[in-house]
Amino acid sequence: MSTQVLNRPVTGPNVWTAADLPSDEAFVRHLTPAELDAADEALAAAAGRPVHGPARGDLPAPGLAGLAADLVERLENGAGYVVLRGLPLGTRYSPEQASRIQWTLARHIGEVVPQNRDGDLAEVLEDPRHPAQRSGSHASKAGAPFHTDPADVTGYLCLAPARSGGARVVASTATIYNALVAEHPEWLELVYRDFATDWDGRQPDGEPGWSPRPIFSVAGGALTCSLSPKRIISAMRFEEVPRLNAEEMTCLMYLESLLRRPGTAVHVEPRPGDMEFVNNHTVIHSRTGFVDDPSDPGHRRRLQRLWISRGADGRPLVPALRRWRAGIA
């Protein structure tokens, strides 16, 4: 079957730049008093259950169904990135209770799936010197590179911000695509090819350390992006991975440069209790470097990350991307 190539610009609410927005508040959705009361009811009904469970549909949180539906609408048909703000962490809710609320909302959005071959459904990102912290760019105090995760949606809960830095940086992949259409249409067919992408040591058992993924693809009329420039380049460390030719490398560096053009990406400073949701098919994200305060636990960066699969409810995907929708197992 031939690959479908979209030769025209994308339109819709998932096309945006920082210059289009009045501020990063455009992505913020504030919790209402009624929703906080519904969260209290959900916590009371779930007392005694494991924090990360039970199955979707069994969660006693009918009062949060409307909120979850709004989040899905914003992710699937809106900008693709939402910051849910207003969870009073440390006063009304403990970190464990906030974690349970995040999990409950994630389960109403989709299915929480494993992030690594150990089957971890929730991973806490913090100072890499912490003995429980895994290695990788997500665990570095240096800025993380732009990337998309294999899951449909990535969810973050800010348990504590850094003393300084650690901002989320997000950009519309449709905006990047439109620039490509306008400036370098000769590269359109190239970006629909499969590029080896490094798993960064997190590959499923029995799989090589890389997987082939198209940078852009179209399925069911929907444009999807899977782009991690640094991991495409690092995949060449594997002997069996073909070297990028001059055109491929130039195109990749061009896409990276688009993400760093002034006015393209938005920086969002995390606050305690913030819950972020990223549609990995329409938004690419990174993070700025950060500095912790070793004497103040309230300013030592800790984020809980979930990967969420939308399954049959999510957008159509080409087979190379669809196979990772269930996470890493």
Model pLDDT, residue 131: 40
pLDDT for res 205: 86
What secondary structure does DSSP assign to 215-258, as a single string? SEEEETTEEEE---HHHHHHGGGSTTSPPP-HHHHHHHHHHHHH
pLDDT band for 134, please (50, 70, 90 cuts).
Answer: very low
CB atoms within 10 A of CB 324: 20
Q: Which two tokens stand for residue 195?
A: 């590029």
> Percent of the chain at pLDDT above 70?
93
**Residue 279 — very low, low, confident or very high, per pLDDT cuts 50/70/90?**
very high
Beta-carbon count within 10 A of 316 CB = 14
Q: How far is CA 160 from CA 54, 135, 207, 302, in A?
A: 26, 20, 35, 5
> In whole angstroms, what is the distance from residue 28 CA to residue 140 CA?
26
Share of residues in the chain with pLDDT > 90 (%): 81
Identify the top-confidence range among 111-120, 251-260, 292-301.
251-260
Residue 118, pLDDT > 50, answer yes
Residue 137 confidence (pLDDT): 46
Cβ pair 174, 10 in contact under 8 A? yes
Assigned token pair, 293: 């305060």
Domain ranges across the chain: 18-322
DSSP state of 161: -
Q: Which residue has the higher pLDDT, 128 or 314?
A: 314
Give the pLDDT score at 292: 93
Instruction: Give the per-residue pLDDT at 143.
Output: 83
- List the structure tokens of 299: 């300013």
Whole-angstrom Cα distance, residue 127 to residue 166? Answer: 12
* Amino acid in the structure at residue 233: I
Give the whole-angstrom CA distance, residue 328 versus residue 317: 17
> What per-residue confidence (pLDDT) applies to 136?
47
CATH numeric code, 18-322: 3.60.130.10
Question: Counting beta carbons within 10 angstroms of the beta carbon of residue 216, is it exposed (0 to 12), middle (13 to 18) or buried (19 or more)?
Answer: buried
Lowest mean pLDDT among 49-53, 90-94, 250-254, 322-326: 49-53
> Cα(211)–Cα(199) distance, rounded to whole angstroms?
7
Residue 140 has pLDDT above 70, yes or no: no
